[in-house]
Amino acid sequence: MPLLLAEVVAVLALAKEISRSMMGRLVPASAAMIILGYPGEISNSNSTKVLFGILSTLPFIYILYVLFVELGKSFDRQPEGVAATIGRLRLLLIATWGVYPISYLIPILVKNPSASQMASLFTDRQIGYTVADVLAKCVFGLTIFKIARLKSAAEGMADSH
């Protein structure tokens, strides 16, 4: 995910100082989100899973703040169509990244699962993560591509395709 956030900032071609500031906040927050979620992911204790799930949510909320508030400030400097696409990209981020915590919670929500249920819950969680990956990475990447094309067209660059 940190790379996807870096791509959003890069494709918008914001002023160098703004880009550096956003990257300096988004990449560490993304890394913190992943690092804080991992102990809960590998734990067998539901209380540990919940604790690290909450802790990993804090950087996610910060990422949303940066993307909604800080990125929103750049809308008036963007070519036609780009601001609306960025707006949809931010909503897409919430929708797709929201699948990860739902998948993370699957094994926690079942009280005292049997061994066979644990295997099924593990599979269900992995399916959830796969769906989230496809949505978050592929759709997000295509949207970033669309923004790049809109910006290129607005800057008078010929479309080679």
Q: Are 85 and 48 in contact (CB under 8 A)?
A: no
Q: Are 16 and 57 in contact (CB under 8 A)?
A: no
Cα distance between residue 103 and residue 10, in whole Å: 30
| Centroid of chain to Cα 18 | 20
Task: Determine if residue 113 is left, alpha or beta; phi over 0 gives left, psi from -120 to 50 gives alpha, anything else beta.
Answer: beta
Cα distance between residue 71 and residue 88, in whole Å: 13
pTM for this prediction: 0.73
How much is the mean pLDDT over the chain? Answer: 82
Q: Are 57 and 32 in contact (CB under 8 A)?
A: no
Domain with 139 in it: what CATH number?
Answer: 1.20.1070.10
Q: Check residue 79 and give its pLDDT.
A: 72
Q: Check residue 52 and give its pLDDT.
A: 95
Q: Check residue 159 and give its pLDDT.
A: 52
2: confidence class by pLDDT, cuts 50, 70, 90: low
Q: Is residue 17 part of a domain?
A: yes
Q: Is residue 147 part of a domain?
A: yes
pLDDT per residue as tens digits for the range 50-77:
999 999 999 988 988 887 887 777 777 7
Q: Are 94 and 140 in contact (CB under 8 A)?
A: no
Q: Is residue 159 part of a domain?
A: no
pLDDT per residue as tens digits for the range 113-153:
888 888 888 899 899 989 988 888 888 788 888 888 887 88
Q: Is residue 46 part of a domain?
A: yes
Number of domains in the chain: 1
Q: Is residue 16 part of a domain?
A: yes
Q: Is residue 69 part of a domain?
A: yes
Q: Is residue 160 part of a domain?
A: no
Measure Cα distances from 52 to 32, 56, 59, 72, 158 in Å. Answer: 11, 6, 12, 30, 48
Cα distance between residue 147 and residue 160, in whole Å: 16
32: confidence class by pLDDT, cuts 50, 70, 90: very high
Cα distance between residue 86 and residue 84, in whole Å: 5
Selection from 25, 28, 30, 24 nearest residue 4 by Cα: 30
Domain interval for residue 146: 2-154
CA dihedral 52, 41, 1, 106 (to 10 degrees): -100
Q: Is residue 105 part of a domain?
A: yes
Selection from 51, 63, 59 nearest residue 33 by Cα: 59
Task: Give the residue-averaged pLDDT of 2-14.
Answer: 69
